[in-house]
Amino acid sequence: MKSLRIAFVVPLLITVSCREAGPPAAGLAPAKAEPVSSEANLLSITLTPEAHQRLGVATIKVAMRTTSATRLATGEVVNAPFGASGVPSVSTSDFAALAGRQAAADAELHRAWAALKLAQQMAQRADALLIEEAGSIRSRDEAVAQRAAAEAALAAARAQRELLGPDLAAIHGKAALWVRVPVFATDMPRVAADQEASIGVPGSDAPTRKVAPVRTPPTANPAAGTIDLYYRFDNHDQVYRLGQRVAVAVPLKGPAQGLAIPASALVTDIHGGEWVYRQTVDGQYQRQRVEVVRPDGEDLILARGLAAGDEIVSAGAAELFGYEFGTGR
């Protein structure tokens, strides 16, 4: 009996011992740390006077500039309605349902116009009969009231049709378009909604152009906490298309200050990082990371990366960038 108990216990001990983690192999560390390169270890490029002349390197001192404050936002090109009081259709609109509502509104508009013509003829006939003493004043007053009601019905039908926008078949190729810009409700007190904005397409040849604000019935997205702003612009050259996403520089109230650098001073790496070459000592340059807030004419406004008075390369930055990474050597 004792030998049977031992036979059961020995396999159990062997199983427990196999589950225990063994000690690490000799000479193998549990973790390994290696030094990595950082922006503090960037190369410093020293140019001779001959290299300065050959590369065409020129420098400029960074200065603080007072500009109009703007906030970058994403907008969508939408179709403009008939009148300034209409609401345009956007990419999320149900165009099939919209086409049906437009057809019904067109029919109502024609019916109201026909009713007005009939009411006008009845009023004219009542006036003529009253002059000939063949009609009554009451009949003339009733005809005038019917004409006024027909005019009001026509005005209401026209306003309802304008709210539905232009015919869907005539949307493409329009010369006048709108831009819908969702802005967070918390930013609205700072937005100058009555001033012009500018739109553009980053990374493309589409020209930046001014857009004028328009007043429409208020629209918003409660789930996202945004309020829509609308701007109109001329699109005779057909550069922008309906549904296209654009970058919008929305004006803010009050001026703003920022460091300005020429656009030729900026270089961009393969990861989208923005850099300039700052002159540390005479003839010596080092790459410095910056962050661009927005364009300002032919210059760029920075958010961080430099200080007023820093001297940077304004011409020849691309040549220095190529030399640093071996492509220009």
Cross-strand partners of 229: 181
The residue among 59, 64, 60 whose CA lies nearest residue 259 is: 64
Q: Token digits for 223?
A: 């789930």
Q: Exposure pattern of 307-323 as b/e (b: 16+ CB <10 Å)?
A: eeebbbbbebbbbbbeb
Statement: residue 192 has pLDDT above 60: yes
Helix (H) or strand (E) holding 303: strand 299-304
Statement: residue 152 has pLDDT above 50: yes
Distance between CA atoms of residues 267 and 231, nearest Å:
33
Statement: residue 231 has pLDDT above 90: yes
Distance between CA atoms of residues 40 and 286, nearest Å:
10
Distance between CA atoms of residues 239 and 207, nearest Å:
8
Q: Token digits for 137?
A: 């004043």
Query: Is the distance from CB of 173 to CB of 64 less than 8 angstroms?
Result: no
Fold classification of 43-67+257-324 (topology level): 2.40.420
Fold classification of 95-164 (topology level): Helix Hairpins (1.10.287)
Average pLDDT over residues 186-210: 84
- What tens digit of pLDDT does each residue of 270-282 get? 888 899 999 988 8
The residue among 273, 256, 230 whose CA lies nearest residue 71 is: 256
pLDDT tier at 93 (50, 70, 90 boundaries)? low
Cross-strand partners of 60: 312
Lowest mean pLDDT among 22-31, 51-60, 102-111: 22-31
Q: State residue 239's pLDDT score.
A: 83
- What tens digit of pLDDT does each residue of 28-62 get? 554 444 444 455 566 788 888 888 888 888 899 99
Query: Is the distance from CB of 259 to CB of 288 less than 8 angstroms?
Result: no
Lowest mean pLDDT among 34-43, 211-220, 236-245: 34-43
Q: Token digits for 130?
A: 């009253």
The whole-chain average pLDDT of the chain stands at: 79
Query: Is the distance from CB of 156 to CB of 83 less than 8 angstroms?
Result: no
**43-67+257-324 and 95-164 share one fold:** no
* Domain boundaries defined on the chain: 43-67+257-324, 70-85+171-254, 95-164
Superfamily of domain 70-85+171-254: Efflux pump adaptor protein, beta barrel domain (2.40.30.170)
pTM: predicted TM-score of the whole model, two decimal places: 0.48
Cross-strand partners of 212: 232
Sequence-distant (≥ 6) Cβ neighbours of residue 15 within 8 angstroms = none
